[in-house]
């Protein structure tokens, strides 16, 4: 974890309402988040699985058939 100097701002009831951090720390956080988002987009492209499964029966009919076997 990055060592980030932060100041927690509270309201009159001492409930936290904001966090102040240095701008340089914010830039580091944004860079890390952007890198993470790019990795997620690359790793989870679901379009490559479109049309892979060829069904011979309607999924809802199959589900009902299996559930009928339980009773």
pTM of the predicted model as reported, rounded to 2 decimal places? 0.47
What residues have CB less than 8 Å from 6, skipping those under 6 apart? 19, 20, 21, 25
Query: From the CB of residue 38, how many other CB atoms can be counted at a distance below 10 Å?
Result: 10
Q: What is the per-residue pLDDT for 55?
A: 87
DSSP string across 10-67: E-TT--EEEEEE-HHHHHHHHHHHHHHHHHHHHHT-GGGGTT----SS-HHHHHHHHH
pLDDT digits (tens, 9 = 90+) for 14-56: 999 999 999 999 999 999 999 888 877 666 777 888 888 888 9
């Amino acid at each position: 974890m990055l060592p980030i100097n932060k100041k927690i701002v509270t309201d009159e009831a001492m409930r936290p309402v904001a966090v102040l951090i240095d701008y340089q720390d914010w830039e580091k956080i944004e860079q890390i988040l952007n890198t993470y988002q790019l990795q997620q987009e690359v790793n989870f492209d679901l379009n490559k699985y479109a049309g892979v499964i060829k069904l011979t029966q309607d999924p809802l009919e199959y589900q009902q058939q299996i559930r009928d076997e339980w009773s």
